Every structure is written in C-alpha cells, then in structure tokens.
Amino acid sequence: FFSGDKELIHLNIKEDFQFYGNELLTIHVLFNLIKNSLYYIKSARKGEITIWLTVNDSFNCLHFKDTGKGVSQEILPHIFDLFYSKTSQGYGLGLAFCAMVMKSYSGHIKCESVEGSYIEFILKFLKIKEV
C-alpha cells in the first residue's frame, strides 16, 4: 500500500462464512481487486472501497465495491475475458484469473457497474453443508 491507501478501504463484516478453497489463491483474488480499485480511484481522484459479506440459502457472497470510475456497459461484458484490458499497464490477466479461481471453487464472480459512479464485484461461494 502507498500512503493513504489503507484509509480508502472499509470492511463491514457483520456476517461471516467458511468456504472450500485455497487461501493463497483467494488472497491473490482480493489483492487483484484491491490493486485495480486503487488504480481507478486514483485515476478518478475520488472514491473508496467497501467490502462486506452476505449469506443466503444457496450462496455465501463477498461484495467488493469501489466508487471510483466504474466501467461502461460496453466494456462490462468483457472484463473477465483473458487478455482483455483497457489500460496501458494491464495485460488482461487479473480479472480472468479471479474468474478462474472462483470457478475452481464451484463458485462465480459477477460484476455490476455504473460508469462514473461505481463498480461492484460479487464473489459467490457455494454454501458448505453443515453436518
């Protein structure tokens, strides 16, 4: 983190859950989302990151939202495509990696965005059946 970056991230953890998955891969997914968000927040010169969890009958979800630039509806369908990037520093690997990791967990990642307002990633983890 650079100076002031940590202050832009807000955790709102009222619910918690366990999931089947690899700790290191999950850390890398979160790192990628944070790295991307900080880049776009700085580019937009506004915004913050909020992370929270929700639990429902079928899935446990991690929500990751930043209020920086958001993305256009034209770009949105392609952001998880391998090698798709709209930045000079990007290679189109990060979000594709995130999608592959979530798929390997039998989960899913989706994205919602309003250009100029926000982008939100929702990571859906299969619920662990209680014994």
The model's pTM is: 0.91
Could you read off the pLDDT tens digit of each residue along the chain, which spans 131 residues?
A: 788 899 999 999 888 888 889 999 999 999 999 999 999 999 999 999 999 999 988 889 999 999 999 999 999 999 999 998 877 777 889 999 999 999 999 999 999 999 999 999 999 998 877 65
Question: 18-27 b/e with 16+ CB inside 10 Å = b?
Answer: ebebeeebbe
- Residue 28 backbone dihedrals phi, psi, to 5 degrees: -65, -40
The neighbour count for residue 82, using CB atoms within 10 Å, is 12
β-partners of residue 88 are: none
